[in-house]
Structure 1
Amino acid sequence: MMGITRYTRILALFDEVHPAWTVAEISEALETSASTLYRLIREMVAADFLESTVESQYRLGPFFVEYYRRLRLTDPLVLSGAKFLRPLLGQIPCPCTTILARLYGKTVMCVAEERANTATFATSYELGRPMPLLRGATSMAVLSTLPKRQIMKLVSEASDAPKDADTLYAEFTGIRKIGISETHGQVDTGLVGIAAPVRSTDLGINASLSVIIEQHNLTTEIRPHIYAALSSTARMIEGFMAELSVPDAHIP
């Protein structure tokens, strides 16, 4: 393991299924010598990336709580979610979840979400959970904001691309043209994702704003209301982030 990868490979092991690990377990999972890992884990404990628990186990440390707070106070997209997602809920005439998601390596990740009190359905888009790059309106809208070369590269490297790269790129062109992506049941059965691209060139952010509803609620009367609310809110978010990109801009 080299550079920062030495640490990120260890951190990636910790999840809801296996929240605590011993050095021996990490050694086996990563096929790395225990002697090397002892040194790395000591460094990670000293930095509060990890903390020791009972029976020689380790879990994620308080470092991430501190920096999550900093992220909530400084990240332009997270700030946008706090400002615009709940008002968007009030514009949608049926139970829904609103989401802001961004490109995250070779995945798409939700960074802010709001759920209507009347929305009883569950969606796979959870805060901080990496999601498939080429499935669902949320992801398709994010990808549509990218330059063609980057899109083609990501598609060519994806093992689960549902179509060839040229066909997919034509779909992204269509999303950019109308400003909306809509998919049915691609991520969660029975749910519809409707998303608008969100981009800030100055901040280097490629994202999307989504509304997720149950398929039986999407009528010909409701659809244009959702499209209009998404489009106008996406433009407001882009304007808000443009203000944040100005040097010494005040962050509310």
Structure 2
Amino acid sequence: MRDVDSSESAHEVGSVAESASSLAKMLQILRLFSETEPVWSTAAIIEAMETSRSTGYFYIKTLHDAGLLNAVRNGHYTLGPGIIEMDLQLRLTDPLLLASQGVLEDLVDKIGHSAVLLTAFRDSILCIGECRAPNSPANRFSRGQRRPMFQGAGSKVILAHLPHHRLKAIYARQSEEIENAGLGSTWSVFRKTLGEIKKDGFLLTKGEFNPGVYGVAAPILTDQKTALGSVAVAWDELERRDIDVQRATLAVKQAAATISERLTRNQPA
């Protein structure tokens, strides 16, 4: 009887793993769509996913039925309206966004430049909120855009406050990228570099994305002092000579602390 049970258990585990793999592959279809390639044909999707036609058709139909793909003409698809609906739900319910309401606006009023709200997403940083200052350039970092985990003030302050086990996993996967970013050629140097950022409680950078552009960021922390995200601002030294770096840094730190305090206060008992 135990042998039968063992066999059935192994079969169930295998079925679950196979279903999870299939689901992951289906969801990867959504990653094909981009600003430069917003429309994909059925044939192109199947070719890109390297799957059979029957499986490809099943994936596409499932995503279409869920509203995640939208048919724009015969056999061609764009991302679907269901994503817009989910984005609205995030805007209305995301604790980090809710805790930041009014904070970014006050920060922009204080320093006169745009502010962004960032969070870690996989091995990168994602912008989830922003407040634009008047006459802000249109190409500034915006909601929905990603940047490297190891470049920029907003990214590095999050990295410095991630849990130890997560940092170990990141280093194991991306030690070369970490070294290229100047964060350390060994695990111990990497940890020391992040420790210095963590001790300061903020980070000021210059020219990491564009020459002459300053960036300053501070972490948004849980009550265990791990990072949920960061608040960041940037300005060009030639365009904004009126910016007082110390004043901007203090304002960013205060904004991040306010959001952190709101999140802690609103945690369920």
Question: More deviation in 2-11 or 102-111?
Answer: 2-11
- Is residue 203–residue 245 contact of structure 1 (8 Å, CA) maintained in 2? no
Partner of 1:99: helix, strand, or coil?
A: strand
Matched, 1:80 2:99: yes
Question: More deviation in 143-152 or 63-72?
Answer: 143-152
How far apart in 1 are the matches of 2:222 and 2:195?
18
More helix by share: 2
Return structure 1 stretches of 4+ with deviation > 6 angstroms: 218-221
How far apart in 2 are the matches of 1:246 and 1:203?
18
Report 1:5-84 matches (<5 A). 5-84=24-103
Partner of 1:227: 249
- Is residue 196–residue 210 contact of structure 1 (8 Å, CA) maintained in 2? yes
- Is residue 217–residue 231 contact of structure 2 (8 Å, CA) maintained in 1? yes
Aligned length, in residue pairs? 244
Report 1:115-154 matches (<5 A). 115-120=132-137, 122-123=139-140, 125-154=141-170
1:189-230 CA-to-partner distances (Å, cap 9, x unmatched) read 332110001122579862111111113367697011011111
Partner of 1:48: helix, strand, or coil?
A: coil
How far apart in 1 are the matches of 2:100 and 2:189?
32
How far apart in 2 are the matches of 1:224 and 1:179?
14
Structure 1 residue 76, shift from structure 2 partner: 1.2
Question: More deviation in 200-209 or 44-53?
Answer: 200-209
- Is residue 217–residue 232 contact of structure 2 (8 Å, CA) maintained in 1? yes
1:54-110 CA-to-partner distances (Å, cap 9, x unmatched) read 131011111111111110111111223332111100111x4x221110110111101
Fraction of identical pairs, as percent: 26
How far apart in 1 are the matches of 2:235 and 2:70?
40
Partner of 1:100: 117
Shift in CA distance, 4/244, structure 1 to aligned 2, threshold 3 Å:
farther
Partner of 2:67: helix, strand, or coil?
A: coil
TM-score if structure 1 supplies the norm length? 0.88
How far apart in 2 are the matches of 1:76 and 1:223?
30
Query: Which is greater in Rg?
Result: 2
How far apart in 1 are the matches of 2:67 and 2:265?
34
Partner of 1:9: helix, strand, or coil?
A: helix
How far apart in 2 are the matches of 1:203 and 1:61?
38
Partner of 1:197: 219
Partner of 2:118: helix, strand, or coil?
A: strand
Shift in CA distance, 66/205, structure 1 to aligned 2, threshold 3 Å:
farther
Structure 1 residue 142, shift from structure 2 partner: 0.8
Shift in CA distance, 83/7, structure 1 to aligned 2, threshold 3 Å:
farther
Partner of 2:102: helix, strand, or coil?
A: helix
Amino acid at match of 1:122: N
